[in-house]
């Protein structure tokens, strides 16, 4: 039986990619990442760590942007 080999996850490259996205693109990416970590997408099995990390990074970028918006309003 062969196992699926996942490419090494490059968190810094993902952060760079997320920062270049518009708010709408980031929301779509986050929705997709949230789905990929759901029990439905994984047929009841735990999600792949890569998808969990992608969701964490998308949420962190969204929070970073929210903080910047709040600072600009003050």
**pTM across the whole model:** 0.84
Q: Give the model's pLDDT for residue 6.
A: 57
Task: Give yes or no for a contact between 9 and 52, defined as CB atoms under 8 angstroms apart.
Answer: no
- Rounded to whole angstroms, the Cα distance separating 4 from 27 reads 28
- Domain span at residue 44? 16-73
Residue 65 lies in a domain: yes
Total domains, the chain: 1
Residue 11 lies in a domain: no
- Rounded to whole angstroms, the Cα distance separating 71 from 7 reads 37
User: Tell me: the pLDDT tens digits for 24-55?
Assistant: 999 999 999 999 999 999 999 999 999 999 99
The alpha carbons of the chain give a radius of gyration, in whole angstroms, of 15
């Amino acid at each position: 039986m062969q196992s699926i080999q996942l490419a090494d996850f490059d968190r810094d490259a993902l952060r760079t990619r997320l920062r270049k996205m518009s708010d709408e693109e980031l929301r779509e990416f986050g929705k997709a990442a949230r789905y990929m970590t759901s029990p439905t997408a994984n047929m009841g099995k735990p999600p792949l760590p890569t998808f969990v990390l992608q969701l964490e990074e998308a949420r962190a970028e969204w929070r970073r942007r929210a903080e910047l918006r709040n600072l600009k309003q003050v």
